[in-house]
Amino acid sequence: NSSPGWDGISMKVFKRCLPAVMDPMLFVINLSLQQGVFPTKLKLAKVIPVF
């Protein structure tokens, strides 16, 4: 029951495509960590407290 992120992709779609995109995503994430560069859009989070 979660809404899609800034890219408009829902988690259901992402989970179904995970085997196909896992290796390229892992490469990009590792490269980002090695170079110390992180995309600005991925630094944003919307936190909603639930009381």
> Is position 42 within any domain?
no
Domain extent at residue 23? 7-35
Q: Note whether residue 18 is domain-resident.
A: yes
* Residue 17 located in a structural domain: yes
Q: By the 8 A CB rule, do 6 and 41 touch?
A: yes
> What is the pLDDT, as a whole number, of residue 12?
84
pLDDT value of residue 1: 57
The domain tally of the chain equals 1
Q: What is the pLDDT of residues 3-44, one digit of tens each?
A: 777 778 888 888 888 899 899 989 988 998 899 988 787 787
Q: What is the pTM of this model?
A: 0.53
The number of residues making up the chain comes to 51
Residue 23 lies in a domain: yes
